[in-house]
Amino acid sequence: MCGPSAAMKNINNEIQSFSGTMVSEAKTIFGDASSMFNTISNAVGKVIAGGPNQQGWGAGLASSVTAGIVNAAATAGRNIKSALGAAIGAIGGGNVVAPSGAMANVTANALENVEAQKTQQEEQATVANYQQGNANYNEAIAAGEKAPSMLDTANAANANAMGGLKTAETSQQSIDSANNWWQPLVMKGIGAAASLATGGLSNFALGGGEPISGAGIATAAQQSGLAAPIAPDNSAIPNQIS
């Protein structure tokens, strides 16, 4: 075995790249959702703070409605004065004197009706303004309750990104293990050699017997996966002892 295969490396690279893309997209989705959530929360928060008994029209609309009512009443008053004057002046072909104060009384009554209508319209506008405010408040409550659901998509994206990171981590661990395939064998050999050395020396030092023989070392080395030591060739040395 000599490390991960090319196919395994390619797959791991694709997993790491895809995981990075998922994390990047999750960040973008979460950022967009958070921005929208904050915008809506701030908007509905102001309406909710106003309570159910608030005006619903903006200042511009309220002023426009009031001005329309006042101008309509003024126009109606002018038209009434003009019409009554023409009618009274035409009595008897214009040759009959109107009763004293008759025109003034009729005009006053007509203008009172116009003023009453104006007041009624203003009251109706005020009621409509507060009705709109109450409707806005109820809609804000509903929108506020639904606002957290805007983060559902972001939460799902984050969950997928976490799953992708976990897969990427597992894949990388497999690559690392394949790259370091030799470490267990080396550690096993080192452990066996250390055990062999310390065991033989301790046995000899404590008087437990003869030091381990060369044959024993060779056998232990073979069992541990290490190469057996080469025994010296004494046959090549001349025998100097007569």
Least confident of 43-47, 177-181, 184-188, 200-204: 200-204
Residue 186 inside a domain? The answer is yes
| 193 within 8 A of 212, measured Cβ to Cβ | no
Q: Tell me: pLDDT of 148 over 60.
A: yes
Of residues 100 and 113, the one with the higher pLDDT is 113
Is residue 72 included in any domain, yes or no? yes
What is the pLDDT confidence band of residue 18, given thresholds at 50, 70 and 90? confident
* 179's tokens: 């790259």
Same domain, 75 and 147: yes
DSSP letter assigned to residue 181 = T
State which of 178, 202, 235 marks the end of a domain.
178
Report whether 199 contacts 205 (CB < 8 A): no
Top mean-pLDDT range of 107-121, 162-176, 212-226: 107-121
Segment 35-48 shows an average pLDDT of 85
Residue 236 belongs to some domain of the structure: no
Query: In the structure encoding, which two tokens stand for residue 120, read together?
Result: 């009624």
> For the whole model, what pTM was predicted?
0.48
> Does one domain contain both 120 and 159?
yes
Segment 42-77, tens digit of pLDDT: 888 889 899 999 999 999 999 999 999 999 998 988
The answer to whether residue 241 sits within a structural domain is no
Q: Are residues 128 and 189 in the same domain?
A: no
